[in-house]
């Protein structure tokens, strides 16, 4: 192709890999070229290498001294400006960045998340914007044999113009684009990226090829036709999120110049031996000579000669094989073992120019499979097996860390959220299909923390076009992302889409009248393209077409199962806002629950920056309603709260708002606790129709993108909701859990995820009267528990059990009102079981105060903490602590206080007095905490 011509989307260069020991040296022919897009870029950075490689495996090239490197010129930073279509707005810009961030930095707009700005600033997304960058290139850069212009992320529909010449048109946010530009460069250059309004472009495409649904629900305050674009689907609005349809260069841009070739991708396969598929890029149709060398940290290295002609897209493939030492340590999920990671380094040395290009990836040795085998009397199992062990998935669902994509990649924010997941005993997160393929920092942190990633492809809650252009763009997207992410040990499973099988079968979008046509399009996209590309690129992990889905049973039924949410197959998404979420008996015994949850409000500390100043009560009400995107959200929330707690209508004063926040978080935490414990109790239980064998609980959702009612357990800004504290306990490696069956029997279980037997464990069930600290009756059971199992340890008639000893009450019909149970077991956190709605219980008023806060101390991980001591004059449920000065977290919160003195640890994020306040059901204390 000509240096200034249109690039190509990334193409597949090989099919399924040969087994170890059968490495093919001949280059496979590439498939037919798709229309549009741009050639894939070089992701790796290069460095000068002379003599020994910078790795624990030391070796020397027996070549001429290699001293040259490819030259990288970053185009990131503030060398950019952006203007709208008519030139009325022109401001400085930054890359990586986006239009909302740039306009805010220039003072044209304020915070898009403040008050009603998401609607007031909608004009931004309806204009066309041009980003212009000025840069110099030195003669030595232009004298290189090849110069590539690399875009790591363009959001979304744009023309790319260099020095007045159109390089190409791009329309996929999730693809890396490259253009060969050597002959177009000058001493002084201008690069323009001319963006088309995503809202207007989506509308235009819909007129040509309408695909349902046309718009999001009106409550979302969103935009229409997002399914026409390969863009973050949630950027047009969602029930938990804000509509900010961004445009911009959301990832880095650079020029890469070189004489030989550079290492672009390293795809890793391990099945006894280590096999690498190395993709290099060079000037199109040029002969490349040199040596390719690979090394494994602590292991062997290998070197092979390379003599290939780059194809017309500039790519070459070389396969390498490395032996793995017998003492290599396996990578395990959190709670199963260590997260051992090894550097795999690949470098190419050109025989003609002595240039060196090197790329290093971190790899964890582990085998993973999805087990779907027959269950008696019906159905199939559905669980992940890691290194031969079945693993119960404990975790949540991940949405982008920010609606603005350039802010969603912040490594510090991502790391803190993933550490919070790890600290809550999670071993898995599902990257939901309506956001973005996450940043390298996300997957690197997941590797290090042992968080398994269920990776959706970015298709969610929509039908999608099946035109040749759309399918070609989707193929390029999936191929690029699988190659980018494949080496990460944390990535456990690929999924083709979020909820689209269920949407089609259950007629969510009015497709029933033409079901066969939509089914054909569905299969074309998710099977003909997504599944085909994923399985061609990566044979090391499982793929499912949709979530929820019946797995292989859906495939047998033409990929659209009669009941995609069957409890006998695959995974399910379960939401029921009309039933009592605190009643364990309403939940099904599914194979794996990959979505479930309940809404709550974020804390006033999180809300206030978005709503202050408050004008009047009407203004508070308008703000609260504006932020609630779930149709009927407050109706459901209030109905659920009132089942168990005293709650008048929200009065929309700040104090009334704060009460609603507290009660909504209690309801969310309790409902999710009950549902999660239900799933864990059924991990090895099968009922008479084959339900059970539940092997995963991923609640919706971990994080937030703005200050609004949502299903999250962590608020926007990082504060933990009550749910996240509860997750630490209901995801603990050993859990003691109780329920009352419909027949009125008390059942107590111990659930262990450990790999060894728990011998001689004492389980204690205590009956408490609300008006006294000391239990009125204690039942102890001493037994042993098998590894990886749920075991029933106690089953008795509840009323009879409560009336033992001192009893709860002489009135049998009132007995549950006066008592509650606490449960304890060796190696498990304490638990509790409420027996009646608290609004109907004999609950005394409780006064809980902060008796003292210690000076800062350090724990064994080097983290600073303070000891907070509480005092109570009565039993107090749902004791809630907040630091008004710090977004840090506590070791426990929202707890049932059954002793007059209680101690918790506070882990601050800043220095100074944490200013801790206490809230209970009976009182709302806002006194400043004394320092010891």
Q: Which positions ≥6 away from 599 have C-beta within 8 Å? A: 630, 633, 636, 637, 664, 668, 709, 710, 711
Q: Catalytic residue at 499?
A: yes
> In whole angstroms, what is the distance from residue 281 CA to residue 11 CA?
13
**Closest to 679 (Cα-Cα) out of 612, 539, 584:** 584
Distance CA 424, CA 41 (A): 38
Using CA atoms, how far residue 398 sits from 84, 112, 383, in Å, is 34, 22, 20
Select which of 595, 675, 691, 715 is catalytic: 595
Cβ–Cβ under 8 Å, residues 56 and 298: yes
Give the chain's length: 932
- How many CA atoms are closer than 13 Å to the CA of 353, on its beta-carbon side? 20
Q: What is each CA distance from 727 to 133, 543, 838, in whole angstroms?
A: 47, 28, 22
DSSP line for 353-422:
T-EEEEEEEEE-B--EEEE--B-SSS-B--EEEETTEEE-EEEEEE--S-SSHHHHT-HHHHHHHHHHHH
SS3 content of the chain, % helix, strand, coil (to 5): 25, 30, 45
Least Cα distance to 356 among 346, 368, 343, 347 occurs for 347
Radius of gyration of the CA atoms of the chain, in A: 29
Q: Is 329 exposed, middle or buried, given 0-12, 13-18 or 19+ CB atoms closer than 10 A?
A: middle
Strand, coil or helix: 544? strand
Q: Which of 438, 451, 432 is nearest to 500 (CA)?
A: 432
In 3D space, the residue among 39, 31, 40 whose CA is nearest the CA of residue 13 turns out to be 31
* Catalytic annotation, pick one of 201, 406, 444, 499: 499
Nearest to 436 by CA among 160, 235, 632, 623: 235
Question: Which H or E run contains 744?
Answer: none
| Those residues with Cβ within 8 angstroms of residue 556's Cβ, 6 or more apart along the chain or in another chain | none
549-579 burial, b at 16+ Cβ within 10 Å, e below that, comes to bbbbbbeeeebbbeebbbbbbbbbbbeebee
Does residue 442 contact residue 491 with C-beta atoms inside 8 Å? no
Cis peptide before 312 (omega within 30 of 0): no
Query: Distances in Å between the alpha carbon of 482 and those of 369, 410, 524, 855, 860?
Result: 17, 22, 19, 49, 38
Cα–Cα distance measured from residue 76 to residue 895, given in angstroms and rounded to the nearest whole number: 48
Q: How far apart are CA 341 and CA 419, in angstroms?
A: 18
- Residue 717's region, left for phi above 0, alpha for psi from -120 to 50, else beta, is left
Q: How far apart (Å, rounded) are the C-alpha atoms in residues 34 and 526?
A: 18
DSSP 127-156: S-EEEEEEEE--HHHHTSSEEEEEES--BS
Q: Which residue has the tokens 């426990």?
A: 892
CB atoms inside a 10 Å sphere around CB 715: 24
417 close to 425: Cβ distance less than 8 angstroms: no
Residues with Cβ < 8 Å from 183, sequence gap 6 or more? 3, 4
Closest CA to 377 of 777, 690, 817: 690
Catalytic residues: 499, 595
């Amino acid at each position: 192709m000509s240096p200034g011509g249109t690039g190509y989307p990334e193409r597949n260069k090989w099919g399924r890999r040969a087994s170890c020991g059968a490495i093919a040296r001949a280059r496979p022919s590439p498939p037919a070229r798709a229309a549009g897009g741009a050639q894939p870029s070089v992701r790796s950075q290069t460095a000068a290498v002379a003599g020994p490689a910078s790795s624990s495996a030391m070796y020397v090239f027996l070549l001429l001294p290699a001293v040259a490197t490819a030259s990288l010129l970053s185009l990131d930073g503030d060398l950019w400006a952006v203007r709208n279509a008519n030139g009325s707005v022109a401001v400085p810009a930054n890359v990586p960045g986006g239009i909302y961030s740039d306009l805010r930095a220039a003072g044209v707009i304020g915070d898009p998340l403040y008050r009603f700005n998401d609607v007031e600033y909608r004009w931004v997304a309806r204009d066309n914007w041009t980003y212009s960058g000025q840069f110099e290139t030195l003669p030595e850069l232009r004298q290189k044999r090849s110069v590539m212009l690399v875009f790591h992320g363009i959001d979304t529909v744009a023309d790319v113009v260099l020095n007045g010449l159109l390089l190409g048109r791009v329309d996929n946010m999730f693809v890396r684009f490259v253009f060969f530009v050597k002959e177009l460069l000058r001493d002084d250059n201008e690069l323009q990226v001319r963006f088309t309004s995503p809202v207007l472009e989506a509308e235009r495409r819909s007129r040509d090829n309408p695909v349902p649904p046309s718009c999001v629900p009106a409550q979302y305050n969103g935009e229409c036709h997002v399914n026409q674009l390969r863009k973050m689907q949630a950027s047009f609005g969602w029930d938990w999120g804000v509509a900010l349809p961004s445009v911009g260069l959301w990832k880095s841009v650079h020029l890469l110049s070189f004489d030989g070739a550079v290492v672009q991708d390293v795809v890793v396969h391990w099945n006894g031996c280590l096999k690498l598929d190395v993709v290099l890029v060079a000037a199109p149709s040029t002969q490349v000579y040199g040596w390719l060398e690979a090394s494994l940290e602590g292991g062997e290295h290998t070197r092979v000669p390379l003599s290939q002609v780059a194809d017309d897209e500039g790519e070459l493939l070389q396969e390498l094989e490395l032996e793995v030492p017998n003492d290599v340590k396996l990578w395990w999920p959190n709670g199963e073992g260590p997260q051992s990671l090894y550097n795999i380094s690949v470098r190419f040395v050109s025989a003609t120019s002595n240039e060196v290009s090197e790329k290093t990836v971190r790899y964890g040795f582990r085998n993973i499979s999805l087990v779907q085998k027959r269950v008696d009397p019906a159905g199939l199992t559905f669980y992940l097996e890691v290194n031969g062990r079945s693993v119960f998935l404990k975790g949540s669902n991940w949405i982008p860390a920010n609606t603005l994509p350039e802010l969603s990649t912040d490594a510090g924010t991502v790391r803190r959220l993933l550490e919070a997941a790890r600290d809550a005993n999670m071993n898995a997160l599902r990257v939901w299909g309506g956001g973005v393929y996450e940043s390298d920092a996300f997957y690197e942190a997941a590797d290090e923390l042992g968080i398994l990633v269920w990776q959706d492809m970015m298709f969610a809650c929509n039908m999608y076009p099946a035109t040749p252009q759309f399918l070609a763009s989707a193929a390029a997207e999936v191929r690029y992302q699988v190659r980018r992410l494949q080496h990460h040990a944390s990535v456990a499973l690929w999924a083709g889409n979020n909820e689209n099988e269920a949407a089609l079968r259950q007629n969510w979008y009015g497709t029933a009248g033409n079901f066969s046509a939509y089914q054909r399009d569905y299969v074309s996209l998710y099977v003909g393209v997504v599944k085909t590309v994923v399985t061609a690129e990566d044979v090391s992990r499982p793929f499912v077409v949709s979530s929820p889905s019946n797995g292989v049973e859906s495939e047998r039924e033409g990929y659209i199962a009669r009941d995609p949410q069957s409890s006998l197959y695959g995974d399910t998404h379960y939401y029921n806002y009309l039933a009592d979420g605190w009643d364990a008996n309403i939940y099904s015994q599914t194979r794996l629950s990959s979505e479930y949850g309940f809404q709550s409000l974020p804390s006033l500390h999180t809300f206030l920056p978005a709503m202050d100043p408050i004008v009047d009560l009407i203004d508070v009400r308008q703000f609260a309603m504006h932020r609630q995107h779930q149709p009927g959200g407050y109706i459901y929330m209030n109905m659920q709260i009132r089942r168990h707690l005293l709650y008048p209508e929200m009065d929309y004063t700040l104090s009334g708002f704060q009460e609603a926040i507290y009660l909504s978080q209690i309801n969310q935490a309790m409902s999710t606790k009950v549902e999660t414990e239900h799933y864990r109790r059924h991990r090895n239980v099968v009922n008479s129709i084959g339900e059970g064998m539940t092997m995963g609980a991923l609640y919706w959702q971990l994080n937030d993108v703005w200050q609004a009612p949502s299903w999250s357990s962590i608020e926007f800004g990082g504060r933990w909701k009550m749910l996240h504290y509860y997750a630490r306990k209901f995801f603990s490696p050993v859990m003691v859990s109780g329920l009352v069956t419909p027949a009125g029997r008390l059942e107590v279980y111990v659930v262990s995820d450990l790999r060894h037997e728990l011998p001689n464990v004492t389980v204690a069930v205590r009956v408490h009267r609300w008006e006294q600290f000391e239990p009125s009756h204690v039942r102890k059971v001493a037994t042993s528990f098998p590894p990886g199992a749920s075991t029933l340890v106690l089953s008795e008639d509840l009323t009879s059990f409560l009336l033992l000893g001192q009893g709860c009450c002489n009135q049998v019909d009132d007995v549950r009102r006066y008592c509650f149970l606490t449960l304890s077991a060796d190696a498990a956190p304490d638990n509790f079981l409420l027996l009646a709605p608290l609004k109907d219980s004999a609950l005394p008023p409780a006064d809980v105060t902060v008796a003292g806060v210690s000076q800062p101390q350090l724990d064994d991980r080097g983290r600073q903490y303070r000891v907070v001591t509480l005092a109570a004059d009565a039993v107090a449920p749902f004791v809630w602590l907040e630091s008004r000065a710090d977004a840090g977290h506590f070791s426990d919160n929202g707890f049932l206080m059954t002793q007059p003195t209680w101690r918790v640890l506070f882990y601050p994020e800043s220095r100074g007095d944490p200013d801790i306040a206490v809230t209970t059901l009976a009182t709302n204390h806002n006194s400043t905490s004394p320092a010891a």
